[in-house]
């Protein structure tokens, strides 16, 4: 049973860099895309981007200039960095397995951007 | 960007009845559509993929249909545990993958 455990700083000031990590337990890291999705308070879901074990990356054009997704195959972990955050980046951030449809999700990390 | 539009925004259904949720794509996405169930305070959970294939753990009373631009999620014999927001998502075009705004299913 694959499980995703995610962590990272929950409170940021404007202009700082959001940094989140997701660890994959109980399953293969290779052969899948690994994704990040976010959900602003009371709103719907927004796909941020995905990366596979070969380093192939697809990013939402609206966030592409600020987003970095990376993988650490030795630790079965993948990470998200979002630079120059503003209040509009306040959201619950989820990691998930799969590009296209996402079949395993982390529990989410609440990130608040406030001065 | 492909825009996904869900209707209705809120649906109230009595236990034992059926619920029909709609999702429309702004252009054809073939069958590249997923549905997710998000219960209050929880992460989304994959419910349907490929427009009509049911994900692991969901009973047969959940069914998906459609192709092209019009899609439907049907939940029969509604139970109180089905209270959730349901999202559709297209993965036909990853520039970017996009979600509908969600349908909130209420149990009368």
pLDDT digits (tens, 9 = 90+) for B38-74: 999 999 999 999 999 999 999 999 999 999 999 999 9
pLDDT at A29 over 90: no
Length of chain A (residues): 115
Give chain B's mean pLDDT.
Answer: 96
* Among candidate residues A27, A78, A24, the one with its CA nearest the CA of residue A56: A78
- Tell me what pLDDT residue B1 has: 93
pLDDT band of A21, cuts 50, 70, 90: very high
pLDDT at A68 over 90: yes
CB B89, CB B73: distance < 8 Å: no
Residue in B42, B86, B96 to test binding to A, most A beta-carbons within 10 Å: B96
Cα B91-B94-A18 angle, rounded to 5 deg: 115
Q: What is the mean pLDDT of residues A92-113?
A: 96
Q: What is the mean pLDDT of residues B101-106?
A: 97
CB neighbours (10 Å) of residue B69? 18
For residue A87, the 8-state DSSP code is G
Q: What is the mean pLDDT of residues A58-73?
A: 95
Gyration radius from chain B CA atoms: 13
3-state SS class at B95: coil
Cβ within 8 Å of residue A42, ≥6 positions away: none
- A-chain residues within 8 Å CB-CB of B89? 45, 47, 101
pLDDT at B94 over 90: no
Q: What is the mean pLDDT of residues A38-67?
A: 95
Give chain A's mean pLDDT.
Answer: 95
Q: Which of A94, A101, A108 has its CB closest to that of B34? A: A101
d(CA A52, CA A73): 10
With CB atoms and an 8 Å threshold, state whether B94 touches A107: no
- B-chain residues within 8 Å CB-CB of A59? 96
């Amino acid at each position: 049973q694959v499980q995703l455990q995610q962590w990272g700083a929950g409170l940021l000031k404007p202009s700082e860099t959001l940094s989140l990590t997701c660890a994959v337990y109980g399953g293969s890291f290779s052969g899948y895309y690994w994704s990040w999705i976010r959900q602003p308070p009371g709103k719907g879901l927004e796909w941020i981007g995905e990366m596979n074990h070969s380093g192939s990356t697809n990013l939402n054009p609206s966030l592409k200039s600020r987003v970095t997704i990376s993988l650490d195959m030795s630790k079965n972990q993948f990470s998200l960095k979002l630079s120059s955050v503003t209040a509009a980046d306040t959201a619950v951030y989820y990691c998930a397995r799969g590009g296209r449809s996402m079949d395993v999700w982390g529990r989410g990390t609440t990130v608040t951007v406030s001065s | 960007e492909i825009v996904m539009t869900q209707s209705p925004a809120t649906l109230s259904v009595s236990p034992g009845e059926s619920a029909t949720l709609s999702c429309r794509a702004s252009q054809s996405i073939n069958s590249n559509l997923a549905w997710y169930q998000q219960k209050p305070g929880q992460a989304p959970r994959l419910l349907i993929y490929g427009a009509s294939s049911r994900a692991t753990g969901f009973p047969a009373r959940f069914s998906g249909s459609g192709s092209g631009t019009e899609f439907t999620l049907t939940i029969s014999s509604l139970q109180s545990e089905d209270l959730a927001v349901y999202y559709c998502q297209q993965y036909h075009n990853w520039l970017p993958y996009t979600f509908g705004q969600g349908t909130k299913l209420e149990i009368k």
